[in-house]
Every structure is written in C-alpha cells, then in structure tokens.
Amino acid sequence: MEIELWWLLALPLFFALGWLAARIDIRQVVQESRALPRSYLSGLNFLLNEQPDKAIDSFVEAVRIDPQTIELHFALGSLFRRRGETDRAIRIHQLLVDREDITEEQRLQALGELGQDFLKAGLLDRAEAVFVRLRGTRGDAMALRYLLEIYQQEKDWAKAIEVADSLPGHESLMWRTEVANFHCELAANALANSLPDEAERHVEAALAVNPRCVRASLIRGDICVAQGRDQDALAAWKRIENQDPVYLALAAERIMDAYGRLGRLEEGHQLLRAWLDSHASLDLLDELFHWEMDKQGPKAAYELVREELRRNPTLLGLDKLLEAALLTVPTEQRGDVELIKQLIHGHTRKVARYRCDACGFKARQFHWRCPACGGWETYPPRRTEEFDLTP
C-alpha cells in the first residue's frame, strides 16, 4: 500500500513538471518566430512554392529590417548567383567578409562564396586572389579545386600542375591523366614556338606521370619529325598500340607521311592494315580508304571496305563502299548508286560524331578535353556508331 500511495502522489507531480516544460518550449519557439522578420517567413514560403523572384524580394526586405541575419545573407547571395545576378551576389558576400561581428568560420565561408561569385562573373584574376587567400585554411581543398579550374581556363598550365600536385589524392589515375595533359599542353606550345628541347622535357614529364599517355607519344613523334628523324618518330607512334590502341587512328596519317618520306609507303600500308585487322576503327578505315583511292584506285578501295564490312557492318563503312562503287559501276547504274548513297549519307551524319564518355557531349571534331564537361581524355576517337555497336 505504501508503494501504491507513493505512485499516486508522484504521478501528478511528473505530469505538472512535463506540462511546465512544454509551456516553456512553446513560449521560446513563439518568441523566436516573432523575432524573425515577417518577410523572412514569406520568403521561405515563396521558396517552397518555387517562386524564387518573390522569395528574393522578401529576403532583401528581411535583411533591410534585421542586418544580423547572417545565414539569410548567405542564402540571398547564393540565390543571386544562381540567377546570374553576380554583381548583387558579390556585394552581399563582400559585405559579409568586411564585417567585424562574424566568426572566422563565417568569414571563410563568405570568402569562398565571394570567389565563386567572381568566377561566375568571369573575373578570373579576382577569383584567383580570393582562393589564394583561402590556401592553408579550412577552405584549402575547395580553394585548390577552384584554382585548378581557373588556371585551366587561363591556360596557365604550369600553375595548374602545381595546384594539381597539391590536391588530395593527386596520385590517382584521374589526376595523373590531367597532369600529363597539362605537360602535353606545354610541350605542344614549346614545339609550336620551335623549342624542341623544352617540348621533349615536358613529354618526358608527361610520360613519367602517366606512362600510358598517348598524347605524349604523338607529340614526341612530332618533335622527331621537326628534327628530321622520321624513323624515331615512327618508333614513338608505334608505342601507342601498347598504350591504348583506340587512339591509333590519330597517328595513321602521320605514319603514312613518315613512311612516304622514307620511300617505304607499302610498309606503312601493311602496318595500318594489320592495325585495322586487330583494332577495328572507322577512322583507321577512313585513312586506309583514302590511301587506297589515291594509290591503288577505286577498285582496291572498294575491296578494302567490302572486306571490313563483312567483319564490322556499319553505316559509315557502307557510305565509303558506295563512294568507291560510284567509280566502278557501269554508267547506267550510277544514278541508282548515287541515290542510295545520298540516303545513307543522310543517316551517317548522325552517327559520325565523337562522344564524351563522361557527359555524352557529341561533336564532329576530336578533342583531348571535352568542351562540355572539361574532362581530359574522356573523348575517345571513336564515332558514335562504334559505341552503339559495342556489346
């Protein structure tokens, strides 16, 4: 009975304490909500209803009423940047950076946002200055990432290499590919300015970072050609088969030119035929097709393409076959063949483009760096029809 009496006395007490705590919490929530500007709540409501223009107007009013709303400043600046109103975003974030009543963490956050504003506005020098200021702070990783983007836009490859080497995980395959291409950019520039020794140093650096860098082998061959060393150039280009045979088509024309200067065209022709047999490629077929047309005539070109079509049936190959057939069929049949070729050619225009592995962007021209997503070596020299035929 004593235990039951105790519980009878304790239960009302516990109930009263719980009621009192709930009343305190409710009053605190109500007080905090009343302390917020009404326009702030209206802005949130507009955001939830996907009305960003009205939301921005409400947030601007809230900031005017209560300048202490730090988080609201950040939200407003981000909204302005997403809308493309970078001048307004810059003003908001610059005001935050200059304020003395914010924490160091908030100042770093404001600096990061300000750098992104400058970058979005195309003010690369000012963006660079902001992100350099963030080096060595908690925003170091973010600063490195944006600095790398800036230096690539500015084509300042030496600084891009320095930044990439400082990135976390810079020894991964992705970063090795990027840094090797930065060295290749420097090598190509040096070669264009008739500085073969400097170009060779950058090629060596690219291959040291990424031994499978096809572009470095291509440039090394070009350096050898510039110095009159065609045999060494051929040796450099032949290494591509071991690096990545997908890129062999990029060296095909160079190889035939070098063999031509050496007076060994047939040897070059046999090499390309062997590559085509081992590594089917529409671009490689196209190079061989034109060589056959020029040197052996349309009948030899026709036989080449017909043989390849039996192994790898493609519309682009059929288009080449009809091109050769036009020059070999009797005159009275050429009209029909021409009509078929026109129909096929209309379809091949859609499948004759290159496509980025990363983002799917398509273009008629090959790029070492995708123009859309900025990925390096994500744009293999394979036509979209070849992707569609790949199992």
370 annotated binding-site participant: yes
Count CB neighbours of 339 within 10 A.
11
224 annotated binding-site participant: no
Which tokens go with 272?
């390309």
Answer yes or no: are the C-beta atoms of 159 and 146 closer than 8 Å. Answer: no
Burial 6-41 (b: 16+ CB within 10 A, else e): eeeeeeeeeeeeeeeeeeeeeeeeeeeeeeebebbe
Count CB neighbours of 95 within 10 A.
15
Helix, strand, or coil here: 220?
helix
Q: What is the largest CA-CA distance in the chain?
A: 119
Query: Cα 28 from chain centroid?
Result: 50
373 annotated binding-site participant: yes
Helix, strand, or coil here: 362?
strand
Q: How far is Cα 353 from Cα 365, in angstroms, rounded to an integer? A: 7
Q: How far is Cα 175 from Cα 152, in angstroms, rounded to an integer? A: 14
CA-to-CA dists, residue 107 to 65, 68, 89, 102, angstroms = 22, 14, 15, 7
Half-sphere exposure of 252 (CA within 13 A, CB side): 26
184 annotated binding-site participant: no
What's the sign of the alpha-carbon dihedral 83, 89, 92, 96? Answer: positive
Which tokens go with 368?
């070492």
Element (H, E) at 355: strand 354-355
**Binding-site residue set:** 356, 359, 370, 373
**Binding-site residue set for Fe cation:** 356, 359, 370, 373
